[in-house]
Structure 1
Amino acid sequence: MPTTIDTTFLDTMPPNVAVQFFDRVTATPDAEAFRFPRGEAWESVTWKQAGDKVEALAAGLIALGVQPEQRVGIASGTRYEWILADLAIMCAAGATTTVYPTTNAEDTVYILGDSESRVVFAEDDEQLAKLVAHRAELPHVSKVVTFEGKADGDWVISLDDLAAMGAQKLAEQPDIVRTTSASIAPDQLATLIYTSGTTGRPKGVRLRHSSWVYEGEAIRAQGILSETDLEFRWLPMAHSFGKVLMSTQMACGFAAAIDGRVDKIVDNLGVVKPTFMGAAPRIFEKAHGRIVTMQAAEGGAKEKLFKAAFATGLEVERLKREGKAVPIGLKVKHGLFDKLVFSKVRDRFGGRVRFFISGAAALNRDIAEWFGAAGITILEGYGLTETSAGSFVNHPDRNKFGTVGPVFPGSEVKLGDNDEVMIKGPGVMDGYHNLPEETSRTLTSDGWLHTGDKGALDEDGHLVITGRIKELFKTSGGKYIAPPAIESKFKAVCPYASQFMVFGEDRNYCVALVTLDPDAMTGWAEANGMSGASYTEIVQSEAVHAMVAGYVDELNSHLNRWETIKKWKLLDHDLSVESGELTPSMKVKRNVVQVNHQALIDEMYA
């Protein structure tokens, strides 16, 4: 039976994010709040220090004339200053508009214009250049505040300039920020997040203060995290997954180490030694692939030991899940493998991880079980930008592979037509900004959100996502295909895979476009006599083609006959955000890929 969690927290939640933040500052002023890189070292600040800085910046925004619910943009990667800016905006009663640093100038200007942002925080000269070049198209923007770019002292000022304006405002009106914070209604607009959109223009999702407060309090109520935890946060703060971790941090009081540089994740984990981290599945796929290929390159006895260890680990975990006793001989063997193999895998992630939280896309079950065998728990969760990120998450003590866990306490789930997952609760958005027709198509009159995902609920109330309704297609033989399920299976069997995209709507068989991970292929090239060759040369070689063919054959052995991949093509480049084929949250824009490579797909049916 589903476990019931006390929902009395709904009656005692802070009224808004600003009060939630200042309550945390008051509760644990001297505890560590954030740490962040400064050169090669890490600097740390307490909740009190962060609170003082946020209050000064919020007062600066009020001095600039920011009014309740007026939008203030942030165009920046994930860093400590992003968090200061976001909290300052909400403490000044404004509403944050998020812009990914990888967003091109055209879309950046569209987002800031559509949101009518009055002030914009810009990370550096690269972000400033987008704004300066299009200043005439941004009539609402009265001031730009840069974290580390070149200020002109007029339209563009520095973060320190804003803090100085705030200090002057606080000298005149010491209670201005606290009074403003206390006056924010729960249903006031806190954030506009523009969905990266796999089709068309991005849509601004309107999220209330009460939604973010609820998200953090709902996770705290489930007892998953506490003040003693340490998070490593690299996820884009422009994405709802990053934002929900901030809300959770304020509710629970743990410290967070902040560094958005994706290429530094592994190094940072070794230094920070966190107890948990949120990530998209691609991070786990890459880590899995890297470890497996490194062991394969070692070969011989070491590779045999590695494979034997994981076979044992998977068997032990299976017995535990089924509630069966682990035989003493297997237990002893597992203990030995834990010392020799699994402890070294855990050390790659800092050695202290209690669990990872996976979201933003579906995680392959085989990869989750592989990490579990090594003693690393991955809790899969589910939500949308339209639900303030989290709506479901597995619990460490009842983690069910293949599910995204039970619905958050205080929220409801049901299955609609065609088994569409529908969600209702405090996290659900107000609607899309300036798009009433889109809003009415997505939100029912009684508050249920159409997710567009197909799902099922098991006997414990855990949700299983079976596919994106729009991504399901039917072959000419009448069989339904769920591409994401096939695609994630390939990534589990092929440690070199980056992307695997399945097509076949109204055709008599399925085909795939394949890209390989550039980092993994550099290692492969060194081990196979192609050191120094370009990515294109490597993936066009006969040896790589034969290798991929073997993995496709292995994939097909795990599929139903009608799902099998009859033909496939290797692309000469990996997909990227810059090429427009990935969203900033690393989701494939399937329609863009299909349009870009339609001739190649058609060739496979010729």
Structure 2
Amino acid sequence: MTVQTLRTPIESLRQWATTTPDRIYMTQPHADGSVVDYAWAQVWDESRRVAAHLVSLNLPRGSSIALYGRNSAHWIMADLAIWMAGHVSVPLYPTLSADAAKYILDHSEAKLLFIGKLDGKADSWSEVRPALPPGLPLIRLPMSPEIDGPTWSELLARHEPIATPVERDPNALATIIYTSGTTGRPKGVMHSMRSISAPCLVTAELWGTCSEDRMLSYLPLAHIAERVALEVPSLIFGFHIFFNYSLETFPEDLKRARPTRFFSVPRLWTRFYLGVHQKIPAEQQEAMFSDPQKGAAAKKGILASLGLDAATIGFTGAAPLPAHIIAWYRKLGLELIEVFGMTENAATSHACRPGDVKPGYVGTPLPGVECRLSEQGEVLVKSPGQMMGYYKMPGQMEAEMTPDGFFRTGDRGEMDETGRLRITGRVKELFKTSKGKYIAPVRIENKLALHPLIEVVCATGPGEPQPFALIMLPFDRHQQVRSAPQARDQLEQQFVALLDEVNHGLEDHERLDYLVIVKDQWTIESGMLTPTMKLRRNVIEDRYLSRAGAWRDAGRRVIWEE
């Protein structure tokens, strides 16, 4: 199969609606515990009715239409309607700050905004609502907050389905995905229908995706990963999508879906791992697994308790996942694969192959991808998922590309003898100590992250004599040790030993002076993490660096932030 032979998402939707009209495509849970199924024919019908409404507005072809809300079946239907009407979808993260949302709506010149599943608690709706541009037309999706504007149901009743979706050039602009931005203003990455469909070739060739698969949608659809790992392939291959309603219902929603493939970020894989180990300590697991027959049943039982007993493959990306956690999942029988990609190449870059996993490496280039390292060690990639450019930023594309068409990822890396890639940090994340020595924080963070009770870590210290590390414990463990002096002392001893172990493998100028256990959780809402769970180093350093002098003068190796 080649990119040229792929049907577009709209063509695929038409095919599934014609050949399997009553087959369930999406399953949506609601606040009252009820669940609504949407068959292929219904999705085809509803999307075309709303597309007819968009066409009736006589907007210029290729207008930007924004989507703001948490994942839902109607988020995807709205995306489809935008494409069917010949327009460009601009998704907004549901946790965006008011300033960022206003910037994206203004910068993208959005002509209309779909308001989706929002409540002002698990998202930023309370802040964003007053900042919406005056006069911007709104359409309310099911589960949206009360606001002026026609509802999805009203539009369905008002319009007949558009007879023929607007014909799209596969190379024309289809969506603008604004990067979450660890620093500065987000950039609008432009993708065509062809570039966001390119990852499907990889999915088919390497992992055998088919219409019998099931996936749970919970990572933001505003991010490239969920679009190219779930939304677009579900349309092209015809598999079943289940949605997560809320954080509280996540275990129930995951068990309902029993996904055959599961994509997540390291933070969740780690939480699953820690949760199991709290209930079944490692020694008890070893004893259970030692008996071949009972061991197989025990492993299956653990995966079933997580809702992953039907999963044939799992994916982790966005940040490193400690090798011992990957090994644990693989020991349970789940083929856990590390992947690497960026918004700019539609997440089509590298992945480990089943049966060929090397801890610490993100694998080899995916089919159709070329990769090399610059003289400075920067990872350069040429991909079939390559972006069209940055919206309204002439010249920026050229600055990010080599003369022969490779994208400068900004990641530093190294390759082994077989071409496997290991990410060693960001080109621009180096910082300098007061001694004039440069520090690469990611290398140090990866070593600390091997400890099972470290959920997030940031190595920092620009302008300090030696670097230090800020550590965030899992929320439940943090609460336990804060109120139990003995548990706190035991954990502190563990971290002193960890500090010695990590420092032993570092150069003198890299060695950490001390560890700080922070008292607050770093979240997307607090601005410490991006919507894709990456560290916002500038925000973290703005908050903590002013206290580094006092921490250093305290002369302690492990410090509990008060």
2:186 to 173, 195, 202: 202
Paired residues of 1:502 and 1:510 also in contact (CA < 8 A): yes
Quickly say closer, same or farther: Cα 1:484–1:288, change in 2 above 3 A.
farther
Match of 2:505 in 1: 560
Residue 449 (structure 1) shift: 0.8
Give the secondary structure class of the aligned counterpart of 2:525. coil
Q: 479-488 vs 77-86, which deviates more?
A: 479-488
Quickly say closer, same or farther: Cα 1:144–1:414, change in 2 above 3 A.
same
Q: Distance in 1 between the 2:41 and 2:473 partners?
A: 47
Give the secondary structure class of the aligned counterpart of 1:470. coil
> TM-score, normalised to structure 2's length?
0.89
Q: Distance in 2 between the 1:132 and 1:505 partners?
A: 38
Deviation digits for residues 412-435 of structure 1 (CA, Å, limit 9, x no counterpart):
212123121111122111111122
AA at the equivalent of 1:415 = L
Residue 397 (structure 1) shift: 4.1
AA at the equivalent of 1:175 = A
Paired residues of 2:29 and 2:35 also in contact (CA < 8 A): yes
Quickly say closer, same or farther: Cα 1:548–1:385, change in 2 above 3 A.
farther
1:595 aligns with 2:532: no
1:226 aligns with 2:199: no
2:93 to 84, 95, 100: 100
Give the secondary structure class of the aligned counterpart of 1:274. coil
Residue 91 (structure 1) shift: 1.7
Q: Distance in 2 between the 1:165 and 1:109 partners?
A: 30
2:279 to 294, 311, 319: 294
Q: Distance in 2 between the 1:93 and 1:391 partners?
A: 29
Q: Distance in 2 between the 1:256 and 1:479 partners?
A: 50
Q: 438-447 vs 414-423, which deviates more?
A: 438-447
Correspondence list, 1:139-538, <5 A: 141-149=136-144, 156-167=149-160, 170=161, 175-177=163-165, 180=166, 183-244=167-228, 245-259=230-244, 261-296=246-281, 304-308=283-287, 333-339=291-297, 341-350=298-307, 351-473=309-431, 481-495=439-453, 497-505=454-462, 507-522=464-479, 524=480, 538=483
Paired residues of 1:386 and 1:428 also in contact (CA < 8 A): yes
Match of 1:111 in 2: 104
Quickly say closer, same or farther: Cα 1:337–1:499, change in 2 above 3 A.
same
Q: Distance in 2 between the 1:283 and 1:255 partners?
A: 22
Match of 2:560 in 1: none
Q: Distance in 1 between the 2:70 and 2:11 partners?
A: 26
Q: Distance in 2 between the 1:308 and 1:490 partners?
A: 28
Deviation digits for residues 288-328 of structure 1 (CA, Å, limit 9, x no counterpart):
122222335xxxxxx63224457x6xxxxxxxxxxxxxxxx
Q: Distance in 1 between the 2:28 and 2:67 partners?
A: 19
Residue 242 (structure 1) shift: 0.8
C-alpha RMSD over aligned residues: 2.7
AA at the equivalent of 1:305 = Q
Residue 482 (structure 1) shift: 3.8
Deviation digits for residues 523-568 of structure 1 (CA, Å, limit 9, x no counterpart):
x36xxxxxxxxxxx549x5742541441342354255143543312
Q: Distance in 1 between the 2:301 and 2:81 partners?
A: 42
Q: Distance in 2 between the 1:482 and 1:120 partners?
A: 41
Q: Distance in 2 between the 1:150 and 1:284 partners?
A: 32
Residue 130 (structure 1) shift: 5.4
Paired residues of 2:244 and 2:254 also in contact (CA < 8 A): no
Residue 402 (structure 1) shift: 2.6
Match of 2:556 in 1: none
2:491 to 532, 547, 550: 547
Count of equivalent residues: 543
Quickly say closer, same or farther: Cα 1:44–1:594, change in 2 above 3 A.
same
Residue 54 (structure 1) shift: 1.4
Q: Distance in 2 between the 1:36 and 1:427 partners?
A: 30
1:573 aligns with 2:520: yes
Gaps of 5+ in 1: 1-7, 297-302, 313-332, 526-536
Give the secondary structure class of the aligned counterpart of 2:269. helix
Quickly say closer, same or farther: Cα 1:213–1:304, change in 2 above 3 A.
closer
Q: Distance in 2 between the 1:61 and 1:344 partners?
A: 49
Q: Distance in 1 between the 2:246 and 2:218 partners?
A: 7
AA at the equivalent of 2:498 = E
Deviation digits for residues 228-263 of structure 1 (CA, Å, limit 9, x no counterpart):
211122111011111112112222222111125234
1:34 to 26, 39, 43: 26
Match of 1:43 in 2: 36
Paired residues of 1:121 and 1:144 also in contact (CA < 8 A): yes
AA at the equivalent of 1:239 = H
Residue 143 (structure 1) shift: 3.5
Give the secondary structure class of the aligned counterpart of 1:160. helix
Quickly say closer, same or farther: Cα 1:110–1:78, change in 2 above 3 A.
same
Q: Distance in 2 between the 1:404 and 1:26 partners?
A: 40
Residue 146 (structure 1) shift: 4.0
Deviation digits for residues 105-164 of structure 1 (CA, Å, limit 9, x no counterpart):
2211111111011110112464776565345x455x334434334566xx5111112223
Paired residues of 1:236 and 1:260 also in contact (CA < 8 A): no
Q: Distance in 2 between the 1:162 and 1:13 partners?
A: 31
Gaps of 5+ in 2: 554-562
AA at the equivalent of 1:410 = G
Q: Distance in 2 between the 1:415 and 1:368 partners?
A: 26
AA at the equivalent of 1:55 = R
Q: Distance in 1 between the 2:489 and 2:542 partners?
A: 24
Give the secondary structure class of the aligned counterpart of 2:549. helix
Residue 469 (structure 1) shift: 1.9
Deviation digits for residues 440-467 of structure 1 (CA, Å, limit 9, x no counterpart):
3212344321101112333443322222
Residue 499 (structure 1) shift: 1.8
Q: Distance in 2 between the 1:19 and 1:561 partners?
A: 54
Quickly say closer, same or farther: Cα 1:25–1:113, change in 2 above 3 A.
same
Q: Distance in 2 between the 1:483 and 1:538 partners?
A: 31
Paired residues of 1:57 and 1:163 also in contact (CA < 8 A): yes
Q: Distance in 1 between the 2:326 and 2:401 partners?
A: 33
Quickly say closer, same or farther: Cα 1:383–1:290, change in 2 above 3 A.
same
> TM-score, normalised to structure 1's length?
0.83
| Identity score, percent | 28
AA at the equivalent of 1:12 = T
Q: Distance in 1 between the 2:292 and 2:436 partners?
A: 47
Quickly say closer, same or farther: Cα 1:466–1:162, change in 2 above 3 A.
same
Q: Distance in 1 between the 2:513 and 2:366 partners?
A: 42
Q: Distance in 2 between the 1:107 and 1:460 partners?
A: 42
AA at the equivalent of 2:263 = G
Match of 2:530 in 1: 583
Deviation digits for residues 159-178 of structure 1 (CA, Å, limit 9, x no counterpart):
112223432xx4xxx5242x
